[in-house]
Amino acid sequence: MPAGAALRWSCTTGDGEWNAGRDRSGNRTANTVSDTGQAGAARSPRCVTLAPVTGTVLVLGGRSEIGLEVARRLAPGSTVVLAARRSADLDDEERELRAAGAAAVDRVEFDADDVARHREVLDGVLARHGRLDTVVVAFGILGEQARAERDVAHALAIVHTDYVAHVSVLTHLAQLLREQAGGTGRGGDLVVFSSVAGARVRRANYVYGSAKAGLDGFASGLADALHGSGVRLLLVRPGFVIGRMTAGMSPAPLSSTPAQVAAATVAALRAGRGEVWVPAALQPVFAGLRHLPRALWRRMPR
């Protein structure tokens, strides 16, 4: 194990995620985190060994709650690069990642909507850090459905951020990570967040849902194109996530927190999976909902 890295494994119970391992001094550590983020007792955990991470983790969307939760879990021994607008204001996020064990935290100015500068930003990160081991693409907006139905500019803004900007940055990243892999098979990992909103688009949020449907299709095709290149793409399909983006909204059934989405994402990443639904129960649910008559489907809430 590389010097300074923390050996960790992750266990899950009915109450939440349980992390354990050895700290940098070799002392065994263990803690439990329940679904509400409070300490609790682990019960009959199922465990997966997590390989030590000591590379560079890039989070595109450095203020994203889910992106930060993923980065926190990958932080021990790693360099974490937070890319966001107003990157000078990421002091709290940097402190959190350093407390989680990051070897270093860097900040990069990044505007997802400025697609003309995507390659410049990515080239700059590579120049500073040498390689990218994990890239978490975590930016996005929810927008307002009612406004988007009467304001074309707002509808286009949602689609631009949630689909067009993703197509741009993922295409650049695929090229860069393929080159990084060379003949070694070590190109790195891409993490992309789709949504169940794109699994079958609902009338209640069809602008956002259609953008996510497009992203889901693009990322699925890109994953197939990257097969055998040494670059892996993990596509994450969360349901309703209780967080800043959905503040004031009533949670839908089978909702998750950013921490729960991140725990499932990292577990899937470590297991080498290509897709993960969060929570897992949503996959069979939406397999059935695909067959719901349209007259009923159009009445479905957000």
Domain topology for 53-297: Rossmann fold (3.40.50)
CB 6 within 8 A of CB 51: no
Instruction: Report the chain's mean pLDDT, rounded to a whole number.
Output: 85
The pLDDT of 265-283, averaged and rounded, is: 96
Residue 180, token pair as written in the block: 């990084």
Give catalytic residue positions. 208
Q: Where are the domains of the chain?
A: 1-51, 53-297
* pLDDT value of residue 22: 37
pLDDT digits (tens, 9 = 90+) for 147-205: 999 999 999 999 999 999 999 999 999 999 999 998 788 899 999 999 999 999 999 99
Task: Mention every residue, 6+ apart, whose C-beta is less than 8 A from residue 39.
Answer: 31, 32, 33
Are 92 and 145 contacting, i.e. CB atoms less than 8 angstroms apart? Answer: no
Block residue for tokens 């079958």: 200
pLDDT tens digits, 103-117: 999 999 999 999 999
188 and 180 in contact (C-beta within 8 Å)? yes
The answer to whether residue 60 scores a pLDDT higher than 60 is yes
pLDDT, position 239: 93
Q: What percentage of the chain exceeds 70 in pLDDT?
A: 81
Q: What does the pLDDT look like over 221-270, one tens digit per residue?
A: 999 999 999 999 999 999 989 888 888 788 888 889 999 999 999 999 99
Among the listed residues 118, 147, 253, 155, the one whose alpha carbon sits nearest the alpha carbon of residue 196: 253
Which residues sit opposite 20 in a β-bridge?
9, 30
The pTM of this model reads 0.81
Question: Do you find a cis peptide bond into 279, omega within 30 degrees of 0?
Answer: yes
